[in-house]
Structure 1
Amino acid sequence: MRKERAKLERGKRKIKVGIVVSAKMNKTAVVEVKTTYPHPFYQKVVRASKKFKAHDEKNECAVGDRVEIMETKPISRDKRWRLVKILGKGNVNVHELPKMKEKKVDTTGEPVTRS
């Protein structure tokens, strides 16, 4: 009886789709979910985003992946979502990576130093 009720309640859990923005933690992925809604007074479409920490048991997702997450019982202080499936593998956006300083080199291949 209990298992049947648990299966029925599982259908009521919230499901969201988002993009993985960080997968550096062990068994945890940070998923950004973007939504749009009309402003209550001005009726302009407002874009909003929220980040959720999701449990990734097998550490299988990477940054840029499109994933589906489902609400679950609290796993830790911040984690209340778990990874259901990976909908698509994504490319890492070059513009989002931190800018690396380019080193100047002369014609011989040695780094240029000021003297």
Structure 2
Amino acid sequence: MPKRILTGTVTSDQNAQTVTVSVERRFTHPVLKKTIRKSKKYRAHDANEQFKIGDKVRIQECAPVSKTKRWEVLSDAS
């Protein structure tokens, strides 16, 4: 089964080898037919500590690295 790949923005880089990535998804409300934006934060492993706040990145599912990290940073999303 292929691993999920998401695109988001780095919102925090305070922890060692970890970045927090905010991923936004858009969908249409089933009753109101209005476009809704929802965001979710993921902790991702950044081994080289090369990404800073505001960077657009792609993250991929991986085996658990720590208690909260289940994702790894692939590359810039540009």
Q: Normalising to structure 2: TM-score of the pair?
A: 0.95
Match of 1:87 in 2: 77
Over the aligned positions, Cα root-mean-square deviation in angstroms equals 0.9
Q: Normalising to structure 1: TM-score of the pair?
A: 0.65
* Structure with bigger gyration radius: 1
Among all aligned residue pairs of Structure 1 and Structure 2, give the percentage whose two residues are the same amino acid: 35
Structure 2 unaligned regions, length at least 5: none
Flag the structure with more relative contact order, 1 or 2, with Cα contacts below 8 A and sequence separation at least 6: 2
Q: Which runs of 4+ in 1 moved over 6 A?
A: none
Structure 1 unaligned regions, length at least 5: 1-8, 89-115
Match of 2:23 in 1: 33
- Which secondary structure does the structure 2 equivalent of 1:20 belong to? strand
Measured after TM superposition, the shift of residue 54 of structure 1 is 0.2
Query: Aligned AA for 1:18?
Result: G
Query: Aligned AA for 2:21?
Result: V
Match of 1:56 in 2: 46
Q: How many residues align?
A: 78
Measured after TM superposition, the shift of residue 77 of structure 1 is 1.1
Select the structure that is richer in helix: 1
